[in-house]
Amino acid sequence: MLPRCAAYGSRRNIPPFYISSSSASVAARHRVLFLVVFVVILSSTRGETETGPPRYSSRIVEIQTGAIRGIILELNSRHLEPVEVFRGVPYAAPPVGPLRFQPPQAPVSWPGTRLADTFGAVCPQKYPDITNKTAALQFMPKGRYQYLKKLLPLLANQSEDCLFLNIYVPGSGNRGLEAPYAVLVFVHGESFEWGAGHPYDGSVLASYGHVIVVTLNFRLGVLGFLRTKSSADPNSADSGNLGVKDVTAALQWVKINIGAFGGDPTRVTLVGHDTGAGIANLLFLSPTSKGLFRRIILLSGSALSPWATAHNADSLRLTVGKQMGCLPQDSKGDDREDIAACLRSRPLQAILDVYLDSVRFMPRIAPSLPLDNDSTDPAYAMEHASETFITCEVMLGITTTESYADFNANDIQYGFEQDQRNRVLRTYIRNTYVYHLNEIFSAVRNEYTDWDKPIPHPINIRDSTMEALSDGHTVAPLVRVAYLHARRGAKTYFFHFGYQTKESDYPQRLGSVRGEDLTYILGQPLVAGLPFFPQNYSRQDMGVSEALLNFVSNFAKTGDPNVPGIHKEVPDYGTPREKTRYRGLTWDPYEIGTQYYLSITLKPKMKSHYRGHKMAVWLNLIPQLHQPGDEDVNMRHHHFYEREPHYYAGAVRAESFTRLPPVMHPASMTDSQIIGGIGGGISSVNTECVPQTTSDEGLDTGDDMDIDDDEESEELLERLATRHYYSYTAALGVTVGVGCLLLVLNMLIFAGIYYQRDRDRRRHDRTNNHGTSNRLSTNSTPSTDETIPMSQRPSTPGSSARQSPLLGRRDHELMEIPQCYNTIPRSQNPHEFHAPGPASATNTLKKEKPPPPVRTTSNPATSSGTVKKRVQIQEISV
C-alpha cells in the first residue's frame, strides 16, 4: 500500500478514495493521514503500547492469598503466541518496620481480585553512578556503560516493600497440550548490591518454549546479606543471608501456587546468572531447599567463585555497627549482641550510605558462610553428600570473556604493557589467596605468557590477562562444579557460548562477554521493541536464539536438552542454511572421562576439555601451592615481595599475619569440603531432587556406593588435572609412538634390503665361481676334486694362505666351491640352478644370469696350464 500512496504522478494512479479532491494540498493531507493510520495499525501489532491501557486476561486465578488477574502481552512476531503476564505478585510479607532484618514471612492475603498489571518496586539499592560519562569510563568499559544506560532507568522505583515476582504463562494457559508446564525460576545477577528481576523479560521464552517463566526480586546489600550476630553466637546463621532466604521463600511460593497458573510444581528449574548463579548454587547445597526445584542452570557463576561469598562476616558487622552507632567504637568484634534491633531504628538512606571497604575483583558484601547450623560438622556433611548428590540434572554455561567488566575503557581500547599486566594479576592474587602468593603469581604469569613473542603487542597482553582472570574467578570454578557433579553419576551438561552478533557494543576480538548468552536464552532477537535489549538482530542471531530456546526449554521439561520440543526446527528465521545448522547435533553430557561440552559458535559442535591445560593450572597446581606449610613457617614467607602501592592496580586487602582455617579460603578446598559445603561451611546438597534414572541404569546411590570418600577426596584434583593433561598429551604420545614405530620399521626395511643385496652379491659371486670350478673339473681329473673331502686333501705350497684364520670370506668360499657345486642338482637348462633350501612347496626356482663362457683352446695341455696359472694368480692376489 505504501508504494501506491507515494505514486501520485497521474490521476489514474490515485485510489478512488482520493478522486473527490484534485487539490495537491488535500492529497498531501490525505497522505499524511494515511501514514498516521498505518503507524497506528502497525503499533497495535506490538501489543501493549507505552500510552495505551493493558489488555486484561479473561481468567481469574485463585491462589493461596486471593484472586489475581493478569494481562495479555502480544509479541511482535507471527510465530509466537501471546503471553499471559502476572506482574508484581507478592511472595512474602513486606520486610518493613519490625520485619526489617528478619527472615521472609508469609504473604498477606487481599480481598477481591488483585490486578497484576504493573511491576512491583525494586529492593533498595545503590547502583553505579554513570551520570558523568568521562568519569564512568575510568572504571568500566564502553560496552558496559552502554548496557547500564539501558538497565539503570528500570531500577529507579525503589522500596523496602519489594518482595515481588513476575509470572509469564503461555497464552493457552492451563489448557495447553503440554500442561502442566515446566517452570523456570530466574535469579538475576549483576551484583549483590543492585539489580532486579523485571528487566529480564521472560515472555519470549515462555511463548516459544511452552514453559512458565518466573522472575523475582530479593533483598540486596546490607539489607540482604549483613550478618547481624557475631560468628561466636551459635545462632549466627539465622541472622544473615536474607537475600538467599528470600529466593527460598519465592521457591516455596512457586511450589504452592504455580499449579493454579497451569505449572507443574514437580518440574521447577532454578536458573541463576552471574551473582544470581552463586545464590542458586548455594541453594543447591543447602538443605533448606529440599524439594523446591528439580534441576538447576548456572550461567557465568557458581558458589566456588572467589567473588560468590564473603569470608569477613564479622568484619562487615563491625563496620556497619560502628557507623550506625549500634556498637561501641572500641569493639573488637567479639560482642554477641544482635545489632538488628538497632538497625531497624535507623533511616533507610543511612543504611544505604554505609561505607564498606572494597578491594578490586571482590564484592563489598555477599552471602556469608555457614548458611545453617547443620554444617558445622564437615564429617556429617561429607557423609550426607555421598548419599544424595547424584540425581539432579545440572546445566552450566560460560562465555569467552567473563572478565570484561574488570577493566576500563582505555584498557579495552589500547591494551597495556607487561608491567600493568603484572600489577593486575598481582592485585587479583593478593585479594584471592593467602599463602605462597609469589609462587602462584609466577605460575599464572608463565601460563598466560606467549613465550614465542619476545615483545608482545599491548592488545595481546590485554587478551591474555582477561583470559587469566576469566579462568580464575569464573570458568575454573564452574568446571570444578561440573566435575564434582558428574563424578557422582548425575546428568551434567556444559556449554560455551562463543557467538557474537555483529551489532554488538563489545569488541569483536574479545568474543562473547558475560551476559551476551542471556540475551539469546531469553529470546530477545526474535522480538523487537521489548523493554530491554531494544536493538536489531540479524537472521543468523535469530537462529542461534532459537537453538538456545530449544535447549533450555527441553532441559526444563525433561532434563535432556536434546529432546524435541514444540518447535523442531527454525520456522522462518534465517536462511535454509541457518535452519539446518543445529539439525542432527546431539549435546552429549559432561562426564569425568570425556568432559564434553557444546561450543555454541557460528558452527556449533561438540568439543572436550575446555581450556584443559589452563584449567589444570587453576584446579590442581594452584591449590597445591596454596597451602600454609609447616607451623614454624612465618606468614611473611607467604606475602608478596612487592608491598608498595605502585606494584598493584587497585585496592588490595591488608596482609594477614595469622593462619586462617582452611574453610576461610576456597582456593585450597578439598573435595570433601566442597561436597560438605563451600569450604565446609554449608550443609551438603538439595536432597529432594527427583532422580531421572534408577541405580539399575548406572546411577550410584548412597546404599550402593562402596567408594571411600576420604580417599576419593584426596585424589580428586589430581585425577582432574591428570585427565586434563592427558587430553593434550595423549595426541603427543601417539605421535611420538607412531614416529618411533616408523623409524624402527624403516631401519628393519633398510636392514632387509642391505641383507638381500649382500645375499644377491654373494650368490652372484658364487655363480661366477661355480662356472670356473666346473670348467676346472672338466679339464682335470674328476675323482680328485669330487671324492676327496676338502679337509683331507693334501696341502700345497700355495694353500697355506687359504688355511689361515685371517683369510677373507671370499677365499673360504672359493675353497668350498667344488664340494657345494657338486651337491646342487642341475636342471635341463644349463643356465639355471636350484638354490639350496628346505624342502617345501614354497621353494621356487630362481633364475640368475649365467656366467660368461670361458674361452678355451683345443689343446688340453695348454688349457690345463692356463687354469693352473689362474689359480696361482688368485692365490697371489689374496
Interval 98-112: pLDDT, tens: 999 999 999 999 999
Work out the pLDDT band at 288, boundaries 50, 70, 90: confident
Interval 617-642: pLDDT, tens: 999 999 999 988 888 788 888 999 88
**Single-letter residue type at 819:** Q
Any idea which residue has 533483598 for its cell? 219
- Find out whether 394 and 122 touch, Cβ atoms under 8 Å: no
> What was the pLDDT predicted at 584?
74
> What was the pLDDT predicted at 272?
97
* Greater pLDDT, 14 or 347: 347
- Find out whether 512 and 401 touch, Cβ atoms under 8 Å: yes
What grid cell was written down for 661? 582455617
* Greater pLDDT, 218 or 281: 218
> What was the pLDDT predicted at 518?
94
CB atoms within 10 A of CB 88: 17
Work out the pLDDT band at 330, boundaries 50, 70, 90: low
> HSE-up of 221 (CA within 13 Å, CB side)?
23
Using the predicted structure, report yes or no on whether residue 293 has a pLDDT greater than 80: yes
pLDDT (mean) for 852-862: 45
pLDDT (mean) for 755-761: 86
What grid cell was written down for 180? 502442566
Work out the pLDDT band at 62, boundaries 50, 70, 90: very high
Using the predicted structure, report yes or no on whether residue 45 has a pLDDT greater than 60: no
> What was the pLDDT predicted at 371?
56
Q: What are phi and psi of 212, to 5 degrees?
A: -95, 130
> What was the pLDDT predicted at 530?
55
> What was the pLDDT predicted at 453?
82
Cα–Cα distance, 405 to 403 (Å, whole number): 6
> HSE-up of 302 (CA within 13 Å, CB side)?
29
∠ at Cα 497 (493, 499), nearest 5°? 150
Interval 382-431: pLDDT, tens: 234 534 356 789 999 999 999 999 999 999 999 999 999 999 999 999 99
Interval 444-475: pLDDT, tens: 999 999 888 888 899 999 999 999 999 999 99
Cα–Cα distance, 404 to 141 (Å, whole number): 8
> What was the pLDDT predicted at 507?
87
Coil vs helix vs strand at 63: strand
Using the predicted structure, report yes or no on whether residue 696 has a pLDDT greater than 70: no
Cα–Cα distance, 2 to 15 (Å, whole number): 12
Q: What are phi and psi of 45, to 5 degrees?
A: -75, -10
Coil vs helix vs strand at 394: strand
Q: Which of 216, 222, 241, 226 is nearest to 162 (CA)?
A: 216
- Find out whether 653 and 639 touch, Cβ atoms under 8 Å: no
DSSP state of 402: T
pLDDT (mean) for 862-875: 47
> HSE-up of 613 (CA within 13 Å, CB side)?
8
* Total residue count of the chain as it appears in this document: 878
- Find out whether 516 and 508 touch, Cβ atoms under 8 Å: no
Using the predicted structure, report yes or no on whether residue 612 has a pLDDT greater than 80: yes
- Find out whether 237 and 341 touch, Cβ atoms under 8 Å: no
Give the DSSP H or E segment for 410.
helix 409-414
Interval 569-591: pLDDT, tens: 444 444 455 556 677 788 999 99
Coil vs helix vs strand at 677: coil
Domain ranges of the chain: 2-44, 83-105+116-406+475-612+678-707, 738-877
* Greater pLDDT, 696 or 236: 236
What is the DSSP annotation of 494-530?
EEEE----TT-SS-GGG-SBTTHHHHHHTTGGGSSS-
> What was the pLDDT predicted at 632?
79
Cα–Cα distance, 204 to 168 (Å, whole number): 9
Using the predicted structure, report yes or no on whether residue 783 has a pLDDT greater than 60: no
C-alpha distances out from residue 375 to 244, 367, 666, 687, 732, Å: 16, 15, 16, 14, 45
pLDDT (mean) for 348-370: 91
Cα–Cα distance, 351 to 360 (Å, whole number): 23
Q: Which CATH architecture has domain 83-105+116-406+475-612+678-707?
A: 3-Layer(aba) Sandwich (3.40)
Using the predicted structure, report yes or no on whether residue 721 has a pLDDT greater than 80: no
* Greater pLDDT, 858 or 508: 508
CB atoms within 10 A of CB 137: 18
* Greater pLDDT, 693 or 245: 245
Give the DSSP H or E segment for 69.
strand 66-69
Work out the pLDDT band at 210, boundaries 50, 70, 90: very high
What is the DSSP annotation of 556-620?
HHHS-TTS--S--S--SSS-HHHHTSSTT---PPP-TTT-EEEEESSS-EEEESTTHHHHHIIII
Least reliable range by pLDDT among 10-19, 85-94, 99-108, 195-204:
10-19
Q: With pLDDT > 90 as the criterion, what percentage of the chain qualifies?
A: 46
> What was the pLDDT predicted at 65?
94
> What was the pLDDT predicted at 359?
92
pLDDT (mean) for 51-66: 87
**E strand spans, 144-288:** 164-170, 181-187, 212-216, 263-273
Q: Which residues pair with 532 in a beta bridge?
A: none
> What was the pLDDT predicted at 777?
47
Q: With pLDDT > 70 as the criterion, what percentage of the chain qualifies?
A: 67
C-alpha distances out from residue 498 to 48, 598, 604, 681, Å: 34, 10, 9, 34
Coil vs helix vs strand at 816: helix
Cα–Cα distance, 337 to 326 (Å, whole number): 10
> What was the pLDDT predicted at 428?
96
Helices and strands (H, E) in the chain, number of each type: 28, 15
C-alpha distances out from residue 526 to 206, 402, 541, 569, Å: 13, 25, 9, 14
Work out the pLDDT band at 691, boundaries 50, 70, 90: very low
796-799 contacts, C-beta under 8 A, 24 or more apart: 798/871, 798/872, 798/875
Using the predicted structure, report yes or no on whether residue 280 has a pLDDT greater than 80: yes
Cα–Cα distance, 436 to 459 (Å, whole number): 30
Cα–Cα distance, 107 to 92 (Å, whole number): 4
